[in-house]
C-alpha cells in the first residue's frame, strides 16, 4: 500500500510546490538549456507518478500482478477496476489535449502564414524574411518543418540599425533551428489538459522565458550582447498603441539585465540540473515497472 | 491578388491574366494555379460562371491586414503558441529598468 501513496505524494509535490519554488529561484536563468530539460522532466515525472499511483493502487487492492483474481462481486475489486479506469481516462485526456493543441496550433499558424505571404513582401537580401507594412514594431517567427518565416514590420525596421536587425534575426533563427515552438507546444498541451482550477501558469510561463533566454544566448554568441540588448529595448520600449494590452509581467527586463551581465557559463550547475532531471524520470518509472517486472520474472522462474 | 482587390467585380482567370499581361509575362496556367491555390486557402472566393470560375478577394486588403495583426499581437485570446515573438510590449516602469540595464551594458568596455 506504500507505493501508491509515495507516487501520489511525488505527483503532488511535482505539480505544486516544486514548480512554485523553481519559478521563484533565479539560478535556472543561468542555465536555460538544463532548466528547460528540468521543467520537461518535472512535467513528465508528475504525469508518470500520477498514472503510476493509479496503477499501483489498483494492484494493491486487487492482488499482485501476475496472479489476477478479479471477482466482480467483491467491492474491493470493483474499486480497483474503477481506479484503473480513472487512470486510463486521465491518460486519454492528456493525449487528447496534446493532439488538440497540436492541430489547433498548426491550423492557426498555416492561416497566419498564408496571410503573411499575401501581405508581406519578401526581403531580397535575407531568405525567409518577410516585411510587413505596419507601423507597430513587430518581430516574430513562424516555425515550420519547411518554409519557416521570420516576419518583421516596417515599424520595427525603422527602429533598428543593421547590427540590431542582425541580432533580432539571429535570435529568431535560433528559435526556428531549435524548434522551441515544440517545447512550448508540449507545455501548452499539458496546461490545457487540466481543468482551470488545478492548473497553473508557472510551467508554461517559465518555459516561454527560458526559450527566449536560449535564443538570446545564441544571438549573443554570434553578435555580442550589445546589439541584441539595444534591439530589445528599441522594440519593447517604443510607444505602441497596444502597449496596455501586453502589460502583463514580461521577461524583457530579465533578458536585458542578463545581457548586461557576464556571459553565462555554469557547467557544474548545468550538470547537477541534468542529473536531477534524469533521476526525476527514472525513479517513478522504476517504481511502477518494478512490480510488473518482478511478476514477470516470478512467472517465468 | 492585387488585381482582384482592384477590380470592382469577380474576375475570370482570363481577365486576371489579361490584366497582368501588361506588366508581367505569365502563362495562363500559372495564373490559374495561383488563383486555385488562393481559393483553397480561403483567401479568395469563387463562383461558377458557365464553364469558368469567377474569383473575388474573400475580404478587402485592410481586413486581411487587421486579421494578421490581431493574430500577431495575440489579441484573439488564443493561447496557442503559433508564433514566437521577439519581444512583447512593456510597462513604463519596466521600460525605465530596461534603459537602466542597457546603459550599464553600454558603459562596459568593448
Alpha-carbon distance of A62 to A77, in angstroms, equals 5
Cβ A101–B61 below 8 Å, yes or no? no
Q: Which residues contact A155 (CB under 8 A, 6 or more apart)?
A: A134, A135, A136, A137, A138, A238
pLDDT averaged over chain A? 81
Q: What is the ipTM of this complex?
A: 0.73
Alpha-carbon distance of A140 to B4, in angstroms, equals 29
Q: What is the DSSP letter of B48?
A: E
Q: In the predicted model, is pLDDT for residue A239 greater than 50?
A: no
Cβ B84–A105 below 8 Å, yes or no? no
Cβ B105–A142 below 8 Å, yes or no? no
pLDDT score recorded for residue B8:
61
Q: In the predicted model, is pLDDT for residue A278 greater than 90?
A: yes
Place of cell 499539458: A190
**Angle, nearest 10°, between helix axes A267-300 and A2-15?**
150
- The whole domain housing A260 covers 109-265
Cβ B69–A134 below 8 Å, yes or no? yes
Choosing among A115, A163, A193, A194, which should be mutated to test the B contact, i.e. which has the most B CBs within 10 A? Answer: A115
Residues A36, A207 contacting (CB under 8 angstroms): yes
Q: In the predicted model, is pLDDT for residue A185 greater than 50?
A: yes
Considering only CB atoms, A240 lies closest to which of B38, B78, B89, namely B89
In chain B, % of residues over pLDDT 70: 70
B89: contact with A, CB 8 A cutoff? yes
Q: What is the CA B70 to chain-centroid distance, rounded? A: 12
Considering only CB atoms, A253 lies closest to which of B61, B80, B101, namely B101
pLDDT score recorded for residue A247:
34
Alpha-carbon distance of A132 to B69, in angstroms, equals 10
Q: Which residues contact A196 (CB under 8 A, 6 or more apart)?
A: none
pLDDT averaged over chain B? 71
Q: What is the mean pLDDT of residues A66-94?
A: 77
Considering only CB atoms, A118 lies closest to which of B1, B81, B104, namely B1
> If you count DSSP H runs as helices and E runs as strands, how many of each does chain A have, helices first?
11, 4
pLDDT score recorded for residue A38:
93
Cβ B71–A108 below 8 Å, yes or no? yes
A172: contact with B, CB 8 A cutoff? yes
pLDDT score recorded for residue A277:
92
pLDDT score recorded for residue A242:
41
Point out the least confidently predicted range of A223-227, A233-237, A242-246, B6-10. Answer: A242-246
Residue A16 lies in a domain: no
Q: In the predicted model, is pLDDT for residue A56 greater than 70?
A: yes
Q: Is A219 exposed, middle or buried (0-12, 13-18, 19+ CB in 10 A)?
A: buried
- Which residues in chain A are contacts of B70 at CB distance < 8 A? none
Cell reading at A154:
516596417
B 16-55: CB under 8 A from A: 38, 41, 43
A139: contact with B, CB 8 A cutoff? yes
Name the architecture of domain B2-57: Orthogonal Bundle (1.10)
Q: What is the mean pLDDT of residues A205-216?
A: 88
Point out the least confidently predicted range of A48-57, A182-191, A240-249. Answer: A240-249
- Which residues in chain A are contacts of B74 at CB distance < 8 A? 246
Instruction: Summarize pLDDT for A26-37 with one digit per residue, the tens.
Output: 888 889 999 999
Considering only CB atoms, A237 lies closest to which of B68, B83, B99, namely B99
Considering only CB atoms, A188 lies closest to which of B41, B80, B89, namely B80
Q: What is the mean pLDDT of residues B31-42?
A: 79
The domains of chain B are located at: 2-57, 61-107
Among A58-72, A260-274, B43-57, which range has the highest average pLDDT?
Answer: A260-274
Query: How many Å lie between the alpha carbon of A92 and the closest alpha carbon of chain B?
Result: 20
Residue A221 lies in a domain: yes
Residues B3, B19 contacting (CB under 8 angstroms): yes
Choosing among A184, A250, A258, A263, which should be mutated to test the B contact, i.e. which has the most B CBs within 10 A? Answer: A250
Q: In the predicted model, is pLDDT for residue A245 greater than 50?
A: no
> Would you tell me how many other CB atoms lie within 10 Å of the CB of residue A67?
10
A116: contact with B, CB 8 A cutoff? yes
Burial of A273-301, coded b for 16+ CB within 10 Å and e otherwise, reads bbeebeebbebbeebbeebeeeeeeeeee
A158: contact with B, CB 8 A cutoff? no
Could you tell me which residue, A191 or B7, shows the higher pLDDT? A191
pLDDT score recorded for residue A119:
82
Point out the least confidently predicted range of A205-219, A270-284, B84-98. Answer: B84-98
In chain B, % of residues over pLDDT 90: 0
- Place B62 in a pLDDT band, splitting at 50, 70 and 90: confident
Could you tell me which residue, A110 or B49, shows the higher pLDDT? A110
Q: What is the mean pLDDT of residues A26-51?
A: 90
Residue A50 lies in a domain: no
Structural domains in chain A (count): 1
Instruction: Summarize pLDDT for A93-102 with one digit per residue, the tens.
Output: 889 988 988 8
pLDDT score recorded for residue A35:
92
Amino acid at each position: 500500500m506504500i507505493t501508491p501513496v509515495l507516487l501520489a505524494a511525488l505527483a503532488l509535490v511535482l505539480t505544486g510546490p516544486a514548480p512554485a519554488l523553481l519559478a521563484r529561484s533565479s539560478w535556472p536563468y543561468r542555465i536555460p538549456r538544463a532548466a528547460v530539460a528540468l521543467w520537461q522532466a518535472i512535467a513528465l515525472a508528475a504525469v508518470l507518478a500520477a498514472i503510476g499511483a493509479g496503477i499501483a493502487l489498483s494492484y494493491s487492492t486487487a492482488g499482485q500482478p501476475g496472479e489476477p483474481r478479479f471477482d466482480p462481486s467483491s467491492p474491493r475489486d470493483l474499486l480497483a477496476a474503477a481506479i484503473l479506469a480513472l487512470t486510463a481516462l486521465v491518460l486519454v485526456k492528456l493525449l487528447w489535449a496534446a493532439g488538440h493543441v497540436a492541430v489547433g496550433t498548426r491550423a492557426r499558424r498555416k492561416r497566419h502564414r498564408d496571410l503573411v505571404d499575401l501581405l508581406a513582401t519578401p526581403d531580397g537580401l535575407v531568405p525567409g524574411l518577410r516585411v510587413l507594412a505596419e507601423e507597430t514594431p513587430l518581430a516574430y517567427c513562424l516555425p515550420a518543418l519547411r518554409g519557416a518565416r521570420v516576419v518583421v514590420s516596417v515599424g520595427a525596421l525603422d527602429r533598428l540599425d543593421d547590427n540590431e536587425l542582425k541580432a533580432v534575426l539571429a535570435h529568431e533563427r535560433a528559435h526556428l533551428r531549435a524548434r522551441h515552438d515544440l517545447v512550448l507546444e508540449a507545455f501548452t498541451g499539458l496546461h490545457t489538459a487540466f481543468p482551470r482550477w488545478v492548473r497553473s501558469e508557472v510551467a508554461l510561463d517559465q518555459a516561454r522565458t527560458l526559450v527566449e533566454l536560449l535564443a538570446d544566448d545564441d544571438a549573443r554568441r554570434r553578435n555580442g550582447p550589445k546589439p541584441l540588448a539595444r534591439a530589445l529595448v528599441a522594440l519593447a520600449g517604443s510607444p505602441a498603441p497596444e502597449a496596455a494590452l501586453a502589460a502583463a509581467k514580461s521577461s524583457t527586463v530579465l533578458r536585458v539585465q542578463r545581457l548586461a551581465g557576464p556571459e553565462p557559463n555554469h557547467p557544474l550547475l548545468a550538470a547537477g540540473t541534468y542529473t536531477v532531471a534524469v533521476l526525476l524520470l527514472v525513479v517513478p518509472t522504476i517504481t511502477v515497472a518494478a512490480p510488473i517486472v518482478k511478476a514477470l520474472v516470478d512467472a517465468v522462474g | 491578388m492585387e488585381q482582384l482587390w482592384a477590380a470592382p467585380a469577380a474576375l475570370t482567370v482570363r481577365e486576371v491574366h489579361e490584366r497582368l499581361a501588361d506588366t508581367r509575362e505569365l502563362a495562363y496556367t500559372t495564373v490559374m494555379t495561383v488563383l486555385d491555390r488562393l481559393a483553397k486557402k480561403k483567401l479568395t472566393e469563387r463562383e461558377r460562371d458557365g464553364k469558368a470560375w469567377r474569383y473575388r478577394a474573400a475580404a478587402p486588403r485592410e481586413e486581411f491586414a487587421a486579421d494578421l495583426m490581431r493574430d500577431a499581437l495575440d489579441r484573439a485570446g488564443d493561447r496557442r503558441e503559433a508564433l514566437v515573438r521577439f519581444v512583447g510590449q512593456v510597462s513604463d516602469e519596466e521600460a525605465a529598468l530596461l534603459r537602466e540595464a542597457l546603459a550599464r551594458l553600454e558603459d562596459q568596455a568593448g
